[in-house]
Amino acid sequence: MSEPALNLEELKRLAPPAELRRAPVVEGGPDLGALTDKLSEFAEGKTPRWWWVLFLPAAFAATVIFPTCLFYQVFTGVGVWGNNHPVMWGLDIVNFIWWVGVAHAGTLISALLFLTRQHWRTSIGRMAEAMTVFSVMMAGLYPAIHVGRAWFDWFMFPVPNSNGLWPQFKSPLMWDVFAVNTYMMVSMLFWFMGMIPDFAVLRDRATTRVRKIIFTFLAMGWTGSARHWHNYEKAYVVLSGLCTLLVFTVSSIVGLDFCTSQIAGWHATIFPLYFVIGAVFCGFGMVLVILIPLRKWCGLENIITKSHIDKLAKLTLVSGLIIDYIYLMEFFIAWYSGDPYEKWVFGHRLFGQTYMYLGWALIIINVLVTQLLWFKKIRANLVLLFIIGVLINCGMWCERFVIVVGSLYQDFLPANWGKYLPTIWDVGLYIGTLGAFFMLYLLFVKFLPMIAISEVKGATLQADPHHPLGGSKGGQS
Amino acid sequence: MSGKLYGIMAQFDSPGAVLHAAGKVRDAGYHRWDVFSPFPIYGLDKVMGLKNSLVGWVSLLMGGCAFMSVVGLIWFSNAFDYPLLVGGKPMFSVPMTFVPAYIMLIMGGAVGALIGMLALNQLPRLHHPLLDKKHFELASRDKFILVIGATDKKFCVKETKQLLEAIGGVHVEIVEDID
């Protein structure tokens, strides 16, 4: 009982009109071989000049500025930073939250969009995951040195010791240690597992002996057997599910660090959600900043298509709107609570002389600039999108600063008020982490498969065994 | 240069063709055969009769163990070995252990998924008889390779070769395991 054979012409006739059709994952419909060439081209080709132009300053920041600021702080003490009574959490925590936030969009794209079967994610998933891995590394560094005596960091882990001391597990700060470390570990595993089949691609294509040996080790003997794929896909689904849980857990726990305290402006039940959405929003900004130039410079316009960027912009808009709602709620609850301290803190976010410019910057960027993404023309304008991406990162950084410092500098007792200004070591360390992040990212782009080769191929029509392009003769098998 | 006979491989040009061929191989009564492809092929699991992968169970097991051991660790460290009174709260209560235990469940589950996947696939391995074959390199590019193993009861060099050619395989070759 075979159905009548469908051929390409007939499919074209039956297909819905162009405006209703789903945008293809890969434009131009190249065959699988050409697609493989295209996707591994950059990792195999000659290093272009732009790469060096970006890499050298990033590497300078990462290998000179970063260790200088880091070691000076560790050897001297946290006093070199601007943190002092009453603002004990300064740029170190601001940047910690900011970096964790940047990481979240990567996991959301690679895991949540995988579970919801959004095939377009295949083209950007790997790059987003790499962003996650490197930014969690940067984030994890901050609490480790913020404790002041970095050589006692092992106190935070349940290591049996002769003093019989154990971590105090009732504190969210302790949970944070577990959350951030788990996030780093799991996102690395996810990233690495996704790359195994692609390492095999690069192994099979390797022309030099060194490349062959390196990728043979990394691919771990991957052959692409159907039995292997069967287990692999299951593991991928499981890991995606676990990573999706992490998206909602890690920043929630960071939020709990704040909301379990009694400080006005922090003591709010909305904080876990607030931090998750803020993180995702900030991360989408970073994805736009990274993807838009790279797709052009690496010649990936057909893979990371305008339609993909458009979808990213829409997701940015959605997370931005949720953030806007939370801002509204925060101010509303501060007023509705009738708590004078709450009112004071929120009033001073926008009208306090010391930090009002940061408060307004975050309102202008996160509330007003985000609304530009409603317009299709702006979502199609890559230069504007890039600028919006940069602005969102700045806006979210301001938000973190306003939350952390804005609540601490004027608390319940006027006698206890103070000001906080970052010192050159605060700023230097931030520049250093930015440099380290971009250095690692550029190395990843150059040497590893930056697009998930097997996933992108698997999402094309040529890979569908039930489509005429995939070799189906219709009604058989 | 002759080693143990490993099997016979045949190359196909499209996922549709290899899926079709896989059905024929199954119908011919073979059991120890496999398809090598650059990406998972939809519907092949069914043709090969692969059951639900055990990876999920490995992940659950490791995640569950991690969860329980963190609950145990918190009880041991904060309530038994060095009782710590914080804010007048009980030394140990189950809800309070949830967050760290849940985080470690994710960690254990993720490690379990990766290790389970590798173990079930018998990876890592640095050598595979098929990797010696020049044509096999295309299996990570755009070709689809069906291999019938020599350990199959029905395996017979001549007949198996004929079958693979009859169902549309090209470059039908004998694979040997050279050690």
Q: Per the domain annotation, does B102 fall within a domain?
A: yes
Q: Per the domain annotation, does B92 fall within a domain?
A: yes
Predicted confidence at residue B96, as pLDDT, reads 87
**Interaxial angle between packed helices A91-107 and A226-259, expressed in degrees from 0 to 180 and rounded to the nearest 10:** 150
Predicted confidence at residue B135, as pLDDT, reads 84
C-beta separation of A448 from A71 below 8 A: no
Say yes or no: B20 and B45 in one domain: yes
Q: Which residues of A touch B103 (CB under 8 A)?
A: 175, 178-179, 182, 249, 253
pLDDT tens profile B65-104 = 999 999 999 999 989 998 888 888 889 998 889 999 999 9
Adjacent-strand bridge partners of B147: B9, B34
The Cα–Cα gap between A458 and A236 comes to 14
Which residues, other chains included, contact A292 with Cβ-Cβ below 8 Å and sequence gap of 6+?
A309, A382, A385, A386, A389
C-beta separation of A222 from A200 below 8 A: yes
pLDDT tens profile B57-71 = 999 999 999 999 999
The Cα–Cα gap between A282 and A280 comes to 5
Predicted confidence at residue B1, as pLDDT, reads 47
Tell me the one-letter amino acid at B144.
F
Q: Are strands B144-149 and B4-12 parallel, antiparallel or unpaired?
A: antiparallel
Distance from CA of A25 to the nearest CA of B (A): 15
Q: Which residues of B touch A472 (CB under 8 A)?
A: 16
Say yes or no: B64 and B108 in one domain: yes
- The domain that holds B44 is classified in CATH as 3.30.70
Backbone angle region of A451, left / alpha / beta, with phi > 0 → left and psi within -120 to 50 → alpha: beta
The Cα–Cα gap between A90 and A408 comes to 9
Q: Per the domain annotation, does B29 fall within a domain?
A: yes
Q: Per the domain annotation, does B110 fall within a domain?
A: yes
Query: Is B2's pLDDT higher than 70?
Result: no
What Rg value do the Cα atoms of chain A yield, rounded? 24
Q: Per the domain annotation, does B69 fall within a domain?
A: yes
Instruction: Choose the closest CB to B141 out of A36, A220, A234.
Output: A36
**B144 — phi, psi (to 5°)?**
-130, 125
Of the residues A156, A196, A216, A239, the best mutation for testing chain B's interface (the one with the most B CB atoms within 10 Å of its CB) is A239
Omega within 30 of 0 (cis) for the link into B124? yes
| Both tokens assigned to A374 | 């409603």
Q: Which of residues 126-185 of A touch B (CB under 8 A)?
A: 158, 164-172, 174-175, 178-179, 182, 185
Predicted confidence at residue B89, as pLDDT, reads 87
Distance from CA of A343 to the nearest CA of B (A): 28
> Residue B145: in which H helix or E strand, if any?
strand B144-149
**Does A168 sit within 8 Å of B130, measured CB to CB?**
no
pLDDT tens profile B114-145 = 999 999 999 888 788 888 888 888 888 889 99
Instruction: Choose the closest CB to A231 out of B16, B107, B121.
Output: B121
Q: Per the domain annotation, does B21 fall within a domain?
A: yes
**B7 — phi, psi (to 5°)?**
165, -170
Domain count, chain B: 2
Listing DSSP states for B108-166 in one string gives: HHHHHHHHHHHHHTT---S--GGGG-TGGGGGGTT-EEEEEETTSTT--HHHHHHHHHH
Which residues, other chains included, contact A6 with Cβ-Cβ below 8 Å and sequence gap of 6+?
A468, A472, A474
Length of chain A, in residues: 477
pLDDT below 70 — which residues of chain A?
Answer: 1-7, 29, 474-477
Q: What are the domain boundaries of chain A?
A: 25-147+169-459
Distance from CA of B100 to the nearest CA of A (A): 6
What Rg value do the Cα atoms of chain B yield, rounded? 25
Q: Per the domain annotation, does B125 fall within a domain?
A: no
Adjacent-strand bridge partners of B9: B147, B173
Q: Per the domain annotation, does B96 fall within a domain?
A: yes
C-beta separation of A356 from A363 below 8 A: no
* Global pTM value: 0.92
Residue A152: other Cβ atoms inside 10 A: 9
C-beta separation of A451 from A303 below 8 A: yes
* Rounded (10°) CA dihedral B46, B141, A471, B9: -60
Domain, as residue range, for B18: 4-51+130-177
Tell me the one-letter amino acid at A135.
S
Adjacent-strand bridge partners of A410: none
Residue B98: other Cβ atoms inside 10 A: 16
Say yes or no: B29 and B65 in one domain: no
C-beta separation of A283 from A101 below 8 A: yes
Instruction: Choose the closest CB to A471 out of B13, B36, B123.
Output: B13
Say yes or no: B166 and B142 in one domain: yes
Omega within 30 of 0 (cis) for the link into A143? no
| Both tokens assigned to A375 | 């317009």
* Rounded (10°) CA dihedral A357, A361, A363, A368: 140
State in words which class domain A25-147+169-459 has: mainly alpha
b/e per residue A420-455 (b: at least 16 CB within 10 A): bebeebbebbbebbbbbbbbbbbbbbbebbbbbbbb
Say yes or no: B64 and B107 in one domain: yes
Of the residues B89, B106, B143, B167, the best mutation for testing chain A's interface (the one with the most A CB atoms within 10 Å of its CB) is B106
User: What is the ipTM for the molecules in this complex?
Assistant: 0.93
Predicted confidence at residue B4, as pLDDT, reads 85
